[in-house]
Amino acid sequence: MKKNIILMGPPGAGKGTLAKQLMSALNLVHISTGDMFRDAIKAGTPLGTLAKSYIDKGDLVPDEVTIGLVKERLSQGDCAKGFLLDGFPRTLPQAEALRELSKEINRPIEVVVNLDCDNAELIRRISGRRVCKTCGAPYHVITLKPKVEGVCDICGGPLYQRADDNEEALKVRLEHYVQDTKPLLDFYAKEGLLESFNSLVGKEELFDQVSKFLNK
């Protein structure tokens, strides 16, 4: 089985959903830089405050901050049996830094799973996304409605739209993806690590395809 996985794709391609499925099925540690930054923002730490100023505009958090956070996390004991990186790396400098730090801690990346999805579908998915403020459960105004509008089915907490899930911020994020992140596909293809999947097939079919590939 392949472990130490990077999950790539534009915002809204379904990385978070697939990551949770793989984490449960393959007993991998799910490492989402987005979640780590949101936790820091919620806690009101200096790092969280700095990250919020970038995230709210749809901009990327500076590489040196993100790289340090990821290195610290990958070095922890629960990552020894395999991890799934979601949201990192986003730029070539981050990818190069990850290649070096993964050697330092003897946990090399074994495969890069890339999710393809067209922009029209990305905008539909993200602009309708809602999240529970209390437990973080995901919803969608069209495809995954709660039983009671604005209320989480799981814990009863209020649902909200993240600041970076509006259409204006999304356009900025997609511009960053095209300019900064998409070149990583060439980087990892040259290293023989890249495997791409069409995320429009639906979340269950996508999970089946990816999990079968990882278990080869």
Q: How far apart are CA 99 and CA 107, in angstroms?
A: 10
Residue pair 60/174 in contact (Cβ under 8 Å)? The answer is no
| pLDDT score of 185 | 92
Q: Which one of 15, 42, 57, 125 is the catalytic residue?
A: 15
Render the chain in DSSP notation, one character per residue.
---SEEEE-STTSSHHHHHHHHHHHHTPEEEEHHHHHHHHHHHT-HHHHHHHHHHTTTPPPPHHHHHHHHHHHHTSGGGTT-EEEES---SHHHHHHHHHHHHHTT----EEEEEE--HHHHHHHHHTEEEETTT--EEETTTB--SBTTB-TTT-PBEE--GGGSHHHHHHHHHHIIIIITHHHHHHHHTT-EEEEEGGG-HHHHHHHHHHHHT-
> Is residue 162 annotated as part of the catalytic site, yes or no?
yes
| pLDDT score of 64 | 79
What's the average pLDDT block by block, 10 residues per block, for the chain (216 residues)? 89 83 89 76 81 82 80 84 88 91 91 87 83 91 91 96 81 81 90 92 91 90
Please tell me whether the overall predicted TM-score, pTM, comes out greater than 0.75 for this model.
Answer: no
| pLDDT score of 212 | 93
> Is residue 130 annotated as part of the catalytic site, yes or no?
no
| pLDDT score of 110 | 95
| pLDDT score of 132 | 94
Q: Which one of 38, 90, 125, 130 is the catalytic residue?
A: 90
> Is residue 38 annotated as part of the catalytic site, yes or no?
no
> Is residue 107 annotated as part of the catalytic site, yes or no?
no
Q: How far apart are CA 11 and CA 123, in angstroms?
A: 9
